Structure 1
Amino acid sequence: MTGIHREIYGQGRPLVMLHGWAMHSGIWREFARHLARHRQVICLDLPGHGRSAELGTFDLPTIAAALLNAIPVNRFSVLGWSLGATVALDMAARCPDRVQSLFLLSGNPKFVKNADWPGVRPEVLDGFVSQLSEDTQLTLQRFLGLQVQGLPESRALLHKLRLAVHECDAPASDALQGGLHILKNSDLRKSVVGLRCPITVMQGDKDTLIPAQTGRAIKTLNPRVALHVLTNAGHVPFLSHSQQLCDIVAAAE
């Protein structure tokens, strides 16, 4: 593997898509092809994930530099899911001259919950960190289960999720640990406040990782944010609510 792997679909205004922790861009290939009816869709594998090479350091500045260098157009919109949303938000803050608009899918500028912010309980991420060193595969399987937990079609969605994920080998250990470190320690709320590009937040009302109230909290930071909460959607709405998401992205144009 060399550099950043990318897959490009369709023509039109460019939309860069960034996947979540422990995943790769193949996870939403069907969704990307759907979006490509209206846009040029550029799917990137994060460093050390899928078919992308590892970086010496897996942190936001290094990731942003590698991805920005791999994007073959100067101006683009970016859609990030979960960890990819954190990376997308960081990229938009670093390079406002290149990012035209931002879509945060099941994402959060501050992933960890505290007294003034909804999010994941710190012990959940701590559990993943400790489990990774003991059994990577079991940890990843548990994570996949959390993404569809509580949904009526959870078994079918989990099967689809596993098929897509297993297309590639598990990410490099340093990338997995680095991603959890980013999720646990990043606080990009000031970036949400300061961004001038259009921001669209999309999340599921049954997401077990990103609480529904997160969207309202983001909108409090920046009232210009367009918020869409999908009914009966979990952490992977691009698998369960593909058409609704496509309609939201199209309307944001």
Structure 2
Amino acid sequence: MHNDRPTLVLLHGWGMNNGVWDALPASISERFHLHPIELPGHGNAPFQSHWRDLPDWADAVLAQAPEQAIWLGWSLGALVALQAALHTRTPGRPIGPGQQAPAQEVSSRRRAPSRIRALILVTANPRFVQAADWRAAMPATTFDGFHAALRDEPAATLARFLSLQVRGSEDARETLRRLRAGLAERPQPQPEALLAGLDLLREEDLRARLADIQQPALWLFGERDTLVPASVAERIELLMPQAQCQTIPGAAHAPLLSHGDEAANRITAFLAETLP
């Protein structure tokens, strides 16, 4: 706690870095002590080639997280936050070729659920790519095309992704400007990390595990989001009935930036209701 403000871990999305939080409204930094953590290979964060699955990424983030905090994850960052709220490792599981996690680290990681007071999941999806029983997601063909474009034209693909995040928002041009300005202050993500992150978005499916998460959870969706349909909320209410789902009118994939004060008010009201 810092001056009676709860600590809020911030996990950005794919291709982003901690510069995106420069555009947060003052209402959020006034209510919380912010603890931003960059995803592996993004911004100044290191990346190791064997970090290929979601527990690997959750481990990397947990190593930088405080012992007690509320966690806010945006898009891919929300997947990592969900994984951190589950047991991310079992004793003796390899963490790299020929490596074992030290016993103390394994113990710390297995205590991850107790380190997370609550979850705020912003424009997230437990399965980002469509399946026969999960249509509220990106079509696989669209995602595969995006993956191929990243290999051929990484800079152009990242620029396109930024535009997709604000498409449909009431304040798309200004939100895009703030996104670009923040990201330009830090190093570009490492290509290998970008590809690994896309693989996580394409392959991970946490639907069956949502019911195992015990922390209070708030899912925030954007009414006009073209990447994560707001209709995901209907599925979350069935898979995770203890969670709250709310949709912000007029917002796209970046409601914290385009509708920051409203998002902050909803987060604050949720935490006042659910945390002692």
TM-score (norm 2): 0.84
Does residue 60 of structure 2 align to residue 69 of structure 1? Answer: no
Does residue 89 of structure 2 align to residue 59 of structure 1? Answer: no
CA contact (8 A) 2:7 2:35 kept: yes
Identical aligned residues as a percent: 35
Aligned length: 245
Shift of 1:152: 3.9
Compute the RMSD of aligned alpha carbons. Answer: 1.8
Equivalent in the alignment of 1:192:
210
Q: Distance in 1 between matches of 2:6 and 2:256?
A: 20
CA contact (8 A) 1:233 1:241 kept: yes
Deviation sequence 1:22-59 (CA, Å, 0-9, x none): 00011022427532312221001111101112223243
Does residue 18 of structure 2 align to residue 25 of structure 1? Answer: yes
Q: Distance in 1 between matches of 2:195 and 2:219?
A: 26
* Residues 22, 10 of structure 1: alpha-carbon distance in 2 compared, 3 angstrom cutoff: farther
Deviation sequence 1:48-97 (CA, Å, 0-9, x none): 101112223243122111211111x2121110001001111111112212
- What amino acid is aligned across from residue 146 of structure 1 in structure 2? L
Match of 1:206 among 224, 233, 240: 224
Shift of 1:155: 2.1
Q: Distance in 2 between matches of 1:232 and 1:207?
A: 9
Does residue 161 of structure 2 align to residue 143 of structure 1? Answer: yes
Equivalent in the alignment of 2:151:
133
Q: Distance in 2 between matches of 1:189 and 1:75?
A: 25
CA contact (8 A) 2:73 2:121 kept: yes
CA contact (8 A) 1:10 1:38 kept: no
Shift of 1:115: 2.2
Match of 2:240 among 189, 199, 222: 222
Q: Which runs of 4+ in 1 moved over 3 A?
A: none
Match of 1:123 among 132, 137, 141: 141
* Residues 224, 235 of structure 1: alpha-carbon distance in 2 compared, 3 angstrom cutoff: same
Equivalent in the alignment of 1:37:
30
Deviation sequence 1:99-144 (CA, Å, 0-9, x none): 1111110111111112222111112221121011111011011111
Structure 1 unpaired stretches of 5+ = 1-8
Q: Secondary structure at the match of 2:147?
A: helix
Q: Distance in 1 between matches of 2:165 and 2:3?
A: 29
CA contact (8 A) 2:23 2:179 kept: no
Q: Secondary structure at the match of 2:30?
A: coil
TM-score (norm 1): 0.91
- What amino acid is aligned across from residue 108 of structure 1 in structure 2? N
Q: Distance in 2 between matches of 1:138 and 1:86?
A: 25
Equivalent in the alignment of 2:117:
100
CA contact (8 A) 1:90 1:191 kept: no
CA contact (8 A) 1:206 1:232 kept: yes
